[in-house]
């Protein structure tokens, strides 16, 4: 069921809103000329009206039973913020230039996550466009944009937005986002949009005024009231979220969705909402003649998320693999607090390379329960891996990026661990040049009581970091401004070297068949726990690579156990070219020969034809 305000042309507009238990709803036009438009209710609780004399730019509220005026839950634009009127827009007038665009295949993605507000000084969609050529030169072919649904004020991570259809006004609104997506496609870059279907933000959340059935009190939502996907009247909520997904694919030409924290999507119904969403987007892909994707963040290590529905899965195309991150992070930093206490062994990274999930049913001490399922049979392109994300940075008291926690050698080793895997690689903005600006949690609410609640909540959360410093005020503009990228760093000193190092890794990733094919079955991995050294071999179509990774803080001597062949070194992170101390590894490998590798470094060898 189509919802919201749809401009039909020639001054005609169709309004549809779901309010199944209300007795009277009307459209109140507030500009350019105030008047009321009565609506009629159908059998499913949708109120509808088609009106003439409504042009794009018209501002409106819904008037509910004569005493409340509220913005449209499915508003496409909130130019005056979450408390202001909704605006009618015409989605047919934008001149797209991507008719020949078919998207980047999932298994070829090099993902770059970014936050619109801090990616540039201006913090807008259009300000991002001049930087796309630099990302393309780096090798990035997919950007993942943190949520852009209208949130309070102009500073926010986006995960407590309250109007999922409305593109944030301070970022540039619907027109600005279309310009960005169109420009991305001109640069050969797919667009992945982060969306939140597990909850809605608190400020400006008037959904209960339309229906209390938007939420389900039977479930405890960690970030707010849980959305109702499986109880009375849940069909209206499911439709709301499905229409939201379809809207961004159809009207904004995006290529994929990233679903936030799906462990917070509670559905005990016969057909899980995630499966219905996957089916919906699959059918839309067929209609559009190009493959559209859905990825997800999940804390469950549940392979049913990514398995096809034919074998009982939800049909999500790929998911973030936190286990891989935790394994690499603990090896690089030595941290063992919070959830990191479940990690820290090299054998866990070895298992992740081989299978995907580290926890596949074992007892996880920090969780105090058995956790996860066996992912051995799942293909590599089902997993997205990284050394940092907005969460892993922002959920620290001082919001340090990995560049503030480890040396340049550690940064290069972490990059190698990601890009040599048989999984989809992912970077967080600025990672490619060792950005050292923090990425704090920040907000710009207007409700003083809510602001204080959030301050106290963050203080409680950060008690785990006692003695490491004080977190800044999330409401302060200064907190937000400290998070803006220092983009010019990429041309200076070690930052420039690291940028070129990432560029080289990505080039190998895209050109060497052994790395390009994400096949876990054509992979051998082993490790020596005592020495903190890992060996990885991958092969495909006559192409073979071998890598040795040293997570130790000292030199390690080892014997190369590789098949016979003309192995030549193509990358060594310890080389002086990469500001290393100088490699001790030979240019060619001979099986059975004893070698020494520098601390926190890795080398990559290839069979020379």
Give me 243's structure tokens: 């229409």
Question: What is d(CA 216, CA 229) in angstroms, rounded to the nearest whole number?
Answer: 8
Question: What is d(CA 523, CA 535) in angstroms, rounded to the nearest whole number?
Answer: 11
Give me 89's structure tokens: 């827009």
Give me 265's structure tokens: 């999507």
Nearest to 243 by CA among 43, 76, 71: 76
Q: Which helix (H) or strand (E) holds 399?
A: none
Contact between residue 210 and residue 273 where contact means Cβ atoms under 8 Å apart: no
Per the omega criterion (within 30 degrees of 0), is the bond before 126 cis?
Answer: no
Give me the residue label for tokens 């990358």: 571
Exposed e or buried b for every residue in 130-162, given b needs 16+ CB within 10 A? eebeebeebbbbbbbbbbbbbbbbebbbbbbbb
How many angstroms separate the first and last alpha carbons of the chain?
Answer: 58
Which residues carry out catalysis?
A: 260, 297
Give me 39's structure tokens: 């609506």
User: Would residue 587 be called left, alpha or beta, if left means φ above 0 and alpha means ψ between -120 and 50 degrees?
Assistant: alpha
Question: What is d(CA 48, CA 68) in angstroms, rounded to the nearest whole number?
Answer: 18
Question: What is d(CA 503, CA 522) in angstroms, rounded to the nearest whole number?
Answer: 25
Secondary structure (3-state) at 175: helix
Task: Kindly tell me the burial class for residue 90, based on how many C-beta atoms sit within 10 Å of its own C-beta (0-12, 13-18, 19 or more).
Answer: middle
Per the omega criterion (within 30 degrees of 0), is the bond before 32 cis?
Answer: yes
β-bridge mates for residue 48, sequence order: 16, 40
Residue 358's φ and ψ, nearest 5 degrees, are -80, -50
Q: CB within 8 A of 495, min separation 6: which ones? A: 433, 434, 435, 489
Question: What is d(CA 506, CA 508) in angstroms, rounded to the nearest whole number?
Answer: 5
Question: What is d(CA 238, CA 377) in angstroms, rounded to the nearest whole number?
Answer: 31
Give me the residue label for tokens 């070219």: 577
Give me the residue label for tokens 């989605």: 91
3-state secondary structure 210-256: HCHHHECCCCCCCCCCCECCCCCCHHHHHHHHHHHHHHHHHHHCCCE
Contact between residue 533 and residue 548 where contact means Cβ atoms under 8 Å apart: yes
Secondary structure (3-state) at 84: coil
């Amino acid at each position: 069921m189509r919802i919201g305000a749809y401009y039909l042309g020639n001054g005609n507009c169709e309004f549809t809103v779901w309010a199944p238990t209300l007795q009277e709803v009307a459209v109140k036009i507030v500009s350019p000329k105030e008047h009321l438009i009565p609506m009629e209710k159908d059998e499913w609780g949708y109120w509808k009206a088609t009106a003439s004399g409504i042009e794009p730019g018209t501002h409106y509220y819904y008037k509910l039973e004569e005493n409340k005026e509220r913005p449209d839950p499915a508003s496409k634009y909130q130019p005056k913020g979450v408390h202001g009127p909704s605006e009618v827009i015409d989605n047919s007038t934008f001149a797209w230039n991507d008719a020949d665009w078919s998207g980047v295949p999932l298994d070829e993605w090099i993902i770059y996550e970014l936050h619109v507000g801090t990616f540039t000084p201006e913090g807008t969609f259009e300000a991002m466009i001049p930087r796309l050529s630099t990302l393309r030169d780096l090798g990035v072919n997919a950007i993942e944009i943190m949520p852009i649904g209208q949130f309070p004020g102009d500073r926010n991570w986006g995960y407590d937005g309250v109007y999922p259809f409305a593109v944030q006004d301070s970022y540039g609104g619907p027109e600005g986002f279309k310009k960005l997506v169109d420009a991305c496609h001109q640069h050969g870059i797919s667009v992945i949009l982060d969306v939140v279907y597990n909850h809605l933000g608190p400020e400006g959340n008037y959904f209960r005024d339309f229906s209390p059935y938007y939420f389900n009190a039977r479930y405890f939502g960690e970030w707010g009231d849980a959305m109702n996907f499986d109880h009375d009247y849940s069909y209206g909520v499911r439709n709301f979220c499905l229409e939201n997904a379809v809207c961004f694919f159809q009207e904004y030409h995006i290529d994929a969705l990233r679903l936030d924290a799906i462990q917070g999507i509670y559905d005990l119904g016969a057909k899980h909402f995630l499966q219905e969403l996957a089916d919906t987007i699959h059918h839309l892909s067929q209609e559009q003649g190009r493959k559209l994707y859905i990825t997800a963040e999940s804390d469950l290590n549940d392979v049913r998320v990514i398995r096809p529905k034919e074998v009982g899965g939800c049909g999500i195309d790929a998911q973030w693999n936190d286990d891989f991150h935790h394994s690499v992070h603990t090896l690089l930093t030595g941290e063992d607090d919070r959830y990191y206490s479940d990690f820290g062994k090299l054998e866990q990274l070895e298992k992740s390379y081989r299978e995907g999930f580290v926890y596949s049913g074992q007892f996880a001490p920090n969780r105090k329960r058995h956790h996860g399922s066996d992912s051995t049979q799942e293909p590599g392109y089902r997993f997205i891996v990284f050394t940092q994300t907005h969460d892993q940075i922002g959920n620290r008291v001082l919001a340090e990026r990995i560049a503030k926690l480890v040396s340049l050698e550690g940064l290069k080793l972490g990059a190698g661990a990601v890009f040599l895997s048989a999984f989809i690689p992912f970077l967080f903005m600025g990672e490619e040049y060792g950005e050292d600006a923090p990425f704090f949690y920040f907000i710009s609410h207007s409700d003083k009581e809510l602001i204080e609640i959030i301050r106290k909540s963050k203080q409680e959360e950060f008690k785990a970091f006692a003695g490491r410093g004080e977190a800044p005020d999330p409401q302060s503009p200064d907190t937000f401004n400290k998070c803006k990228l220092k983009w010019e760093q990429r041309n200076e000193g070690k930052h420039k070297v690291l940028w070129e190092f990432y560029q080289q890794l990505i080039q190998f990733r895209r050109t060497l068949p052994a790395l390009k094919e994400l096949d876990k079955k054509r992979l051998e991995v082993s490790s020596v726990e005592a020495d903190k050294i890992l060996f990885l071999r991958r092969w495909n179509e006559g192409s073979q690579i071998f890598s040795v990774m040293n997570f130790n803080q000292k030199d390690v001597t080892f014997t190369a156990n590789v098949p016979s062949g003309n192995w030549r070194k193509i990358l060594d992170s310890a080389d002086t070219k990469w500001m290393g101390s100088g490699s001790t590894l030979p240019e060619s490998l001979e099986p059975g020969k004893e070698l020494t590798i520098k601390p926190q470094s890795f080398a990559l060898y290839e069979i020379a034809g």
